[in-house]
């Protein structure tokens, strides 16, 4: 009964380093999403996917890339981390309808120095 699992939970990077955040869901959901949450702001959509092999840009996609090679996994990559990408990242999934996330992971807290 895992739901949506995000790894890692915490990470500290130096400016310019790269890393990948992993999201896994065991509910056979078609739709998956990556959000970032910053203090005083609501969640903002980075990228999303409507099915295996598909990805689409959200509200704030710059500096991030994603891949959905398997239905249950949605990866978020930072190729060259910047301090402005310090945030809490949430992955979410839903069965339907699209763009209405129903299940969120517990977040990845990322700090970039």
Partner 1 sequence: GQQLNQSPQSMFIQEGEDVSMNCTSSSIFNTWLWYKQDPGEGPVLLIALYKAGELTSNGRLTAQFGITRKDSFLNISASIPSDVGIYFCAGQAAAGYNTDKLIFGTGTRLQVFP
Indicate which single residue of 42, 62, 69, 96 sits in contact with partner 1 (rule: CB under 8 A): 42
Can residue 41 be called a binding residue for partner 1 (CB under 8 A)? Answer: yes
Q: Return the residues of window 43-82 that contact partner 1 according to CB under 8 A.
A: 43-45, 58-59
Of 17 and 60, nearer to partner 1 (C-beta) is 60
- The distance of Cα 57 from the centroid of its chain, to the nearest Å, equals 12
Reading the block at residue 97, the tokens are 């309808």
Q: What angle do CA 39, 60, 34 make, to 5 degrees?
A: 80
Give the nearer residue to partner 1 in terms of CB position, either 17 or 88. Answer: 88
Angle, alpha carbons 60-89-45 (nearest 5°): 30
Is 26 a binder of partner 1 (CB under 8 A)? no
- Taking the CA of residue 50 as centre, how many other CA atoms within 13 Å lie in the half-sphere pointing to its CB? 6
Four-residue CA torsion sign, 94, 42, 90, 35? positive
Q: How far is the CB of 14 from partner 1 (least distance, A)?
A: 25
Decide: is 4 part of the binding site for partner 1 (CB under 8 A). Answer: yes
Identify residues 81-100 at the interface with partner 1 (CB under 8 A): 90, 92, 98-100
Q: Give me the phi and psi of 110, to 5 degrees please.
A: -115, 125
- Answer yes or no whether residue 31 interacts with partner 1 by CB under 8 A: no
Residues found near partner 1 in the complex (CB under 8 A): 4, 40-45, 58-59, 90, 92, 98-107
């Amino acid at each position: 009964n895992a739901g949506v699992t995000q790894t890692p939970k915490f990470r500290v990077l130096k400016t310019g380093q790269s890393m990948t955040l992993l999201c896994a869901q065991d509910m056979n959901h078609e739709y998956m999403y990556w959000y970032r949450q910053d203090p005083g702001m609501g969640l903002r959509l980075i990228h999303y996917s409507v099915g295996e092999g598909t990805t689409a840009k959200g509200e704030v996609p710059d500096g991030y890339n994603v891949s959905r090679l398997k239905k249950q996994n949605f990866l978020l990559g930072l190729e060259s981390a910047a301090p402005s990408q310090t945030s809490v990242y949430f992955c979410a999934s839903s069965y339907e309808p699209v763009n209405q996330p129903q299940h969120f992971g517990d977040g990845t807290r990322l700090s970039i120095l």
